Amino acid sequence: MPGRDASIVASVLRDPLARVAELGGDPAALCARAGVALHGEAGALPLAAFVAFFQEAARMLGAPGFGWSTGAVLDIATLGPAGQTIARAPRLGAGLRLFCDSFAAVQGASELELEVAEGRAQLRYRILDPAIWPRDQDAELTLSVLEAYIRRAAGPAWRPDEIWFEHAPRDAGAARRFDAPVRFLAPVNALVFAERVLDRPLPEAEAEAFRAAARTLAAAAHAHRQGLDLPRRVAREILRSFGFAPVSQAEVARRLGLSRRSLRRHLEDCGTQFSEILADCRDQAAMRLLGSGCGIEETALRLGYADAAAFSRAFRARQGLPPGRWLLAQRRG
């Protein structure tokens, strides 16, 4: 369900394709292997194919750091109007907040959020569709792009205080690639840094042009989100909550601007109910978390179960096997 709106602007592949060629790879063969059909830079690509492109590129080139190194040189203007606009923001904070607000126009079935508390900023990114996995290269690419954007304001020597990745480390030297403390198997991909950095001016600021474009971008992204049918919007809010807050029908209804009763009635009109969507989201997320190395207790906690036993019972009831045996069967098969 969450993946039907999962696409990304096609122009973003321009620099990665050039980098593949620079590293001695065959861009056309790589696109064919990843299922990427290129027809110029206009339009959109399925997000699953985009993510597969980076996974396959890292494998074919023998370059486990391909996503991270490519993000550092990717021209943010290839992200379309949103990328072109945030480059002209008067200050870093204004640019990042607009990018978060307009991200749905760049990439569907995903979230980009900026949270500030107690002097610390947390810039969080994740794909909300659990079926798009593995996606470690995409996570590293995106955080690298964001880090490079922050450096436009903070200077070339700037480094985040922490970097979070939802995937497990791929090799013993993985953490050394990032020049900052790294937390793997985190609930989300994130850059953590001092709040004061948000006040830094950007060198290419054009305040009037930025303000005019910002209104248009935010409105387009809002229209995109509202254009999803109600079950997908509910699934999106559930998936956003995993790892951060308990999931409740009342809270999801509030976020969608509905009463709990109205949400229940509208979902019934769509032929479903909140509990069915929640169970589906939990199952998909559980399979991804277990497969990525997250333990049963941690998986239960992130998905909002009372304890590991409750998670195991629910998982077995729907999948036919308890989590541990299901994971063993996946590894054998």
Which CATH number do you get for residue 311?
Answer: 1.10.10.60
Q: What is the pLDDT of residues 141-156, one digit of tens each?
A: 999 999 999 999 999 9
Domain boundary among 199, 219, 239: 219
Q: In this structure, are 307 and 259 located in the same domain?
A: yes
Question: What's residue 2's pLDDT?
Answer: 47
* 44, part of any domain: no
* 282, part of any domain: yes
Choose among 105, 96, 94: nearest CA to 224: 105
Domain boundary among 165, 191, 219: 219
Question: What's residue 41's pLDDT?
Answer: 58
Lowest mean pLDDT among 37-51, 206-220, 266-280: 37-51
Mean pLDDT value of segment 211-233 = 87
Q: Is the dihedral of CA 11, 70, 207, 198 positive or negative?
A: positive
* 1, part of any domain: no
- Whether residue 3 has pLDDT greater than 50: no
With H, G, I as helix, E, B as strand and everything else as coil, classify residue 307.
coil
- Whether residue 333 has pLDDT greater than 80: no
Spatial CB neighbours of 25, under 8 Å, sequence gap ≥ 6: 57, 60, 61
What is 23-54 written as a DSSP string? TT--HHHHHHHHT----SSSSEEEHHHHHHHH
State how many domains the chain has: 2
Question: What global pTM score does this model have?
Answer: 0.92
Domain that residue 280 falls in: 229-332
Contacts 24+ apart (CB under 8 A), 53-56: 53/13, 53/16, 54/16, 54/137, 54/138, 54/141, 55/134, 55/135, 55/136, 55/137, 55/138, 56/30
- Whether residue 45 has pLDDT greater than 60: yes
Mean pLDDT value of segment 44-63 = 95
